Amino acid sequence: MPSDATPPTSLRALTPSDAGAVAQMVVLTMNWRGNEGWTLEKAQADENLWRYVHAWGEWAGDSGIAACDEEGLVLGACWSRLFPAETPGYGFVASDTPEIGLAVSGAARGQGLGSRLIDAHLQQLRAAGAPGVSLSVEDGNDRARALYASRGFVTVGRNGDADTMLLRWG
C-alpha cells in the first residue's frame, strides 16, 4: 500500500467498552496464517482461547493499547491479561506476569503499527509495575517472533507448537 493511502492512526488506552474489539483481535491472532478459519463464534466455543476475552477489561490487570483510524475503528491492538496459575494462558510464566497479545487488521499491516502498539503497551505495563511480560508465538510466525526478539523477549518454554517468550525489565 503506498504511503499516501496509509490510514491515519492514533493510539489510545483500551477500556472495558473495547471488549468486542479485543475479541476480534484475538480471532486475528489465531488466523495469522490467513487460512485457519477462526471466527468469533468458534473462539467463544474454545474455552482455552475464550479466557483471553471473557469479561475483558473487568479483570484486575487487564490493559492495552488500541490503534484507531479517523472514525475510531480499531485497526490493531496490543493487550494483556493476568492469568491465575490454575487456568494459565498459552504463554503463562507466573500469575504476576501479564501475558500479551498483539494483532493488526489486514489493511493496516506492514506499516509499523504492530511496533508502535507493542512499544506503547510495554511502556504502559512497565509504568504500572509489572515485573515483565510473556507471550506465546507459534512456529512459523517468524515476523512476530522477530518483532518480539527485537524488543528483548527470549524463549523460556514450549507449549505445543509454540514458544513461550518472556521480557523482564532490566
**Residue 106 pLDDT:** 82
At the topology level of CATH, where does 9-168 sit? Aminopeptidase (3.40.630)
Q: Which long-range contacts (CB under 8 A, 24 or more apart) does 142-149 make?
A: 144/32, 144/102, 144/114, 147/102, 147/114, 147/115, 147/118, 148/118
**Residue 4 pLDDT:** 42
pLDDT by residue, tens only, the chain of 170 residues: 334 445 568 999 999 999 999 999 999 999 888 877 888 898 889 888 888 988 999 999 999 999 999 899 999 999 999 999 999 999 999 999 999 999 998 888 888 999 999 999 999 999 999 999 999 999 999 999 999 999 999 999 999 999 999 999 97
Rounded to two decimals, what is the model's pTM? 0.91
- The C-alpha atoms of residue 135 and residue 80 are separated, in whole angstroms, by 9
**Which residues in 22-73 belong to E strands, given as ranges?**
63-68
**Residue 5 pLDDT:** 47
**Residue 141: count of CB within 10 angstroms of its CB:** 17
Distance separating the N- and C-terminal Cα atoms of the chain: 37
**Torsion on CA atoms 35, 41, 46, 51, rounded to nearest 10:** 110
**Residue 3 pLDDT:** 43
Q: Which three cell numbers stand for residue 104?
A: 493488526
Q: What are the boundaries of each domain within the chain? A: 9-168
- The C-alpha atoms of residue 16 and residue 22 are separated, in whole angstroms, by 10
Its sign, for the CA torsion 142, 144, 148, 151, is positive
Q: Using CB atoms within 10 Å of the CB of residue 1, give its burial: 0 to 12 exposed, 13 to 18 middle, 19+ buried.
A: exposed
**Residue 97 pLDDT:** 97
Residues in the chain: 170
- The answer to whether 74 and 25 are in contact (CB under 8 A) is yes
